[in-house]
Every structure is written in C-alpha cells, then in structure tokens.
Amino acid sequence: MMPKHWDPLRDLLDLQERINRLFQQTLSDAQQTGEADATAWLPLADVSESPGEYVVHVELPGVSDEDLGVQATDHRITLRGQRRGPGGVHPENYQRIERHPGPFARVFEFPREIVPESIEAHLRDGLLRLRVPKRGIRRIPLEKDE
C-alpha cells in the first residue's frame, strides 16, 4: 500500500475551514439567544494584490454610504459601519433572523506601505471595492497599439 502524501497547506486550510464553521455556529447561537456583542456580524471580504496595488472587496448588503466609514494609515485600513434593520418590524415578530442589523468593524493590514490619500472607494449594490495603491509603486499607463 502506498503511503498517503502529506500536504501541510491542505491540512492548514481544512483546519481554518473547521474553525470558521465553529465560530459561525457559535456566533449564530449567541445571536439567537441575544448574547451577541455589539459587533456581532462581520462582512465577508476578499483581498487581492497586483504589483502596484491591493484590491479589497467587502460584502456590505444593507449598508448605505452614509453608514460606512473608511480610515487608512500607512499599513492599515479600518472599516466601520452600521447595517440597519427593516423599519416597523419588531424582533418578537421574527421566526428566524440571519441578517443581523448592527455595527461592524473590519481591519485590513498590508505588508507593504500604502498611500492612504490615493485610495479609491466605490460602494455599489452592497459591494464595497477599495483600490489601495502601494507606496513607491507608480502606475504607468500602457499605450495601446492601433
């Protein structure tokens, strides 16, 4: 019988997925029993990198631009906001609540220094897109051959 090939990265990713499920279940239980804290929901995010910038996509359904704040320093972006619940509906009338209203905060740390004053932010259809330029990297537009 051939020995099984050990893939430490796959094991680490599996462990991370199990921990994420555990936290999600614990948070869901706390929210249903009313034990959740003031930042009980955490918007999902993806961060990608190119040679000149980072791009951050954050899912913010139900959050308006008036309820969202973005702060940046040389290596960090902090998002803070509030998702409002539906008006006129009392919590005791719900049979199930999975889209919890309330405040949230996310912090993104970057290994390279960023240019806070050049960050571009666009919120559309519940998706926030941040273009975060790296310090010392200049974008040079390429001319197209015609």
| pLDDT tens-digit map of 5-24 | 777 878 888 888 788 777 76
Q: What are phi and psi of 48, to 5 degrees?
A: -120, 165
What is the distance between the alpha carbons of residues 113 and 52, in angstroms, rounded to a whole number? 11
Query: Does residue 66 share a domain with residue 126?
Result: yes
User: Under 8 Å CB-to-CB from 109, ≥6 apart: which residues?
Assistant: 75, 76
Model confidence, pTM: 0.65
Cα separation, 25 vs 48, whole angstroms: 27
Regarding whether 17 and 71 lie in a shared domain, the answer is no
Structure tokens at 19: 């921990």
Residue of 116, 121, 125, 111 lying closest to 56 (CA atoms): 121
Q: 44 and 23, same structural domain?
A: no
Q: How many domains does the chain have?
A: 2
In a shared domain, residues 118 and 74:
yes
65 lies in the same domain as 132: yes
- 52 shares a domain with 15: no
What pLDDT sits at residue 12? 82
pLDDT digits (tens, 9 = 90+) for 43-101: 999 999 999 999 999 999 989 999 999 999 999 999 999 988 777 677 777 777 777 78
Domain range for 73 is 39-85+101-138
Nearest to 54 by CA among 133, 129, 122, 108: 133
Query: Do 125 and 72 lie in a common domain?
Result: yes
- Strands (E) located in 12-133: 45-49, 53-59, 68-72, 76-83, 102-109, 120-124, 127-133
Task: Report if residue 4 sits inside a domain.
Answer: no
- Provide, rounded to the nearest whole percent, the portion of the chain with pLDDT above 90: 49
